Structure 1
Amino acid sequence: MAPILYGIEASPPVRACFITIEALGIDVKYKEVNLLEGEHLKPEFLKINPLHTVPTLQDGDFSICDSHVITAYLVGKYGKDDSLYPKDLQRRAVVDQRMYFEAGILFNRLRAVTFPIVFEGVKVVKEDAAAGLEEASSPSVQRKPVTMPPILYGSLFSPPYRATLLTIQALGLQDAVEYQEVNTRNGDHLKPEYLKLNPLHTIPAFKDGDFTIWDSHVINAYLVDKYAKDDSLYPKDLEKRAVVDQRLFFDVGVLFNGLRAAALPVLKFGAKGVDKETAASLENAYNSLELLLERSTYVAGEHVTIADFSIVSTLTSANVLVPIASNRFPKISGWLTKMQALPYYAAGNQAGLDKFTELVKSKLA
Structure 2
Amino acid sequence: MEYRFLGSSGMQVTEITYGNWLTHGSQVENETATACVHAALDAGITSFDTADVYANTVAESVLGEALKGQRRESLEIFTKVHGAIGPKGPNDRGLSRKHILEAIDGSLTRLQVDYVDLYQAHRYDHSTPLEETIQAFADVVRAGKAIYIGVSEWTADQLRAGQELATQAGFRIVSNQPEYNMVSRIIETEVVPESLELGIGQIVWSPVAQGVLTGKYLPGQPTPEGSRATDAKGGNRMVEGWLSNPGLLEAVQNLRPIAADMGLSMAQLAVAWVLQNRNVSSAIIGASRPEQIAENAKASGVDLPEELMVRIDEVLADHVVTDPSLTAPRSPASLRSW
Structure of greater Rg: 1
Counting helix residues as a fraction of each chain, which structure ranks higher?
1
- TM-score band (shorter)? under 0.3
Q: TM-score, normalised by structure 1?
A: 0.23
Which structure has more relative contact order (CA 8 Å, sep 6+)? It is: 2
Counting strand residues as a fraction of each chain, which structure ranks higher?
2
Q: TM-score, normalised by structure 2?
A: 0.25
